[in-house]
């Protein structure tokens, strides 16, 4: 469907999101307060948190935006 898209992550995200393929469901749009979000992290061998901050390529993000537009009927 036009409002669904599969994204491949290499390397995978930290657990519990460690599947290499994830789905964008552009017809499910949610509003969340920024302070309720948390960065994904894994633990370094010495116990420190290592945050995983990823940036989608501009072409991929454009496709995500197209999925959301399709999901909203725009």
Domain count of the fold of the chain: 1
What share of the chain in percent tops pLDDT 90? 51
- What is the span of the domain harbouring residue 36? 4-72
CA-wise closest residue to 7 among 30, 25, 29? 25
Is the pLDDT confidence value at 3 over 90? yes
Rounded to an integer, what distance in angstroms lies between the CA atom of residue 58 and that of residue 67? Answer: 14
Question: Can you give the pLDDT at residue 72?
Answer: 93
Residue 14 has pLDDT above 90, yes or no: no
pLDDT above 90 for 6: yes
| pLDDT tens digits for range 43-65 | 888 989 888 888 889 999 999 99
Alpha-carbon span 50 to 32, nearest angstrom: 24
> Rounded to 10 degrees, what is the CA torsion of 18, 4, 71, 39?
10
- Please report the pLDDT score of residue 65 as a whole number: 95
As a whole number, the mean pLDDT across the chain is 90
């Amino acid at each position: 469907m036009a409002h669904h898209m599969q994204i491949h992550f290499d390397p995978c995200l930290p657990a519990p999101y460690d599947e290499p393929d994830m789905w964008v469901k552009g017809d499910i749009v949610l509003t969340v307060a920024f302070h309720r979000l948390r960065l994904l992290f894994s633990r370094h061998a010495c116990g420190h948190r290592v945050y995983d901050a990823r940036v989608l390529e501009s072409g991929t993000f454009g496709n995500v935006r197209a999925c959301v537009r399709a999901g909203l009927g725009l």
